[in-house]
Amino acid sequence: MRPPVLSLVALAALSVPAALPAAAPLLVPALKLNIINNGVTTTASGRIFIPVQRQDPAKGIEVGEVVKGTPRPFPDAAWNDWAPGKDGSNAFVGVNSIRIGPDGDLWVVDKGANGNGGGDPSLQPKIVRIDVKTRQIKRIYRLGAVATGNSFVNDLRFKGSTAYLTDAGQPGLIVLDLDSGAARRVLDGHPTTAAHRSWLSSGKPLVTPEGKEIVVNADQLELSPDAKWLYYQPASGPMSRIETRYLDDAALSPAELASHVEPFAATESTGGTAMAVDGTIYASDINHQRLLKIAPDGKISTILHDPRLIQMDAMWIDEQGYLWIPATQINRTAGLNRGVDAVKPPIVTYKLKLGVKPVHR
């Protein structure tokens, strides 16, 4: 993710999974870019799309389709032409995540600017649904009614006509009705959505140019293959879960809803996750540069360790059974590295053959 400055009491007995021998040869470079992509998603036919973390808000693209190794603005140049001072109603302002949804469309999470637009409605967070075949915008969901000045709308997953989103700034989840467009906040400020411990990368905390340590609230989320469970966590862990039937019940009070939250896995600093059809969650351990496997019972094991896996972010499982792993180097950007830009291009997205099938959520 493109993280904000935010704030989890460390739970006792959380342990780092033991590392297995390095398995670097298993990783295959899939993309080598001179821009920072903090995620990747692919269509069934093999088209590749990326969200881009512009280091200069007036230059570059926010969403790209990678064609013959080169990112091209998607759906067009106009949607990628926003700069400070411009209207952002029909442009990407601050894209954090994208994914091909169960419907085959590209869904873009645009966090906007200044939490909830900073007084400019055109800069409020939104979700943009795009037909990848026609490049036409099918719908825009405006989230200003459920965002705050601290919001950082982060990522989403789907269950039928409902989408679940994380807010990494104002800790909580958002439940969005895709038919009506109505949205509501749940688990707002709950201990499982709020970060109480440091977000560590490659052995050290991430720090702003002003010297403030960065920790990130509700970030990663996944839906079980049957959509019974929503798994979620602050970026610094641990992971919790709740049955979606309770999230869907708007009549429950905050206390009643919170009573259904369960601890799930003792994750630590994480960049991204991906869910397989067998219920396994793959997660990146950005502090130890490891790829982890979380079984349906919450037990964690290490798949591999590789020093090239620098600040792994939003991962993706394709139809051929490959896990795509963006090694973003975002931890080396000036905004997260005490004002010092130490990024060393290219930014590499790796593929790892797992032989598993994705969950279309």
Q: Are 252 and 231 in contact (CB under 8 A)?
A: no
In a domain, 89, yes or no: yes
Number of separate domains in the chain = 1
In a domain, 360, yes or no: no
DSSP string across 189-236: T-TTTS--S--EETTEE-B-TTSPBP---EEEEEE-TTS-EEEEEETT
Q: Are 230 and 223 in contact (CB under 8 A)?
A: yes
CATH number at residue 170: 2.120.10.30
In a domain, 197, yes or no: yes
Beta carbons within 10 angstroms of residue 232's beta carbon? 26
In a domain, 308, yes or no: yes
In a domain, 59, yes or no: yes
Q: Are 95 and 106 in contact (CB under 8 A)?
A: no
In a domain, 6, yes or no: no
Label the pairing between strands 262-265 and 239-243. antiparallel
Beta carbons within 10 angstroms of residue 47's beta carbon? 16
pTM of the full structure? 0.93
In a domain, 22, yes or no: no
In a domain, 289, yes or no: yes
User: pLDDT tens digits, the chain, 361 residues: what are they?
Assistant: 554 433 333 333 333 444 444 444 489 999 999 999 999 999 999 999 999 999 998 899 999 999 999 999 999 999 999 999 999 999 999 999 999 999 999 999 999 999 999 999 999 999 999 999 999 999 999 999 999 999 999 999 999 999 999 999 999 999 999 999 999 999 999 999 999 999 999 999 999 999 999 989 999 999 999 999 999 999 999 999 999 999 999 999 999 999 999 999 999 999 999 999 999 999 999 999 999 999 999 999 999 999 999 999 999 999 999 999 999 999 999 999 999 999 999 999 999 999 999 999 9
Q: Which domain holds residue 110?
A: 32-353
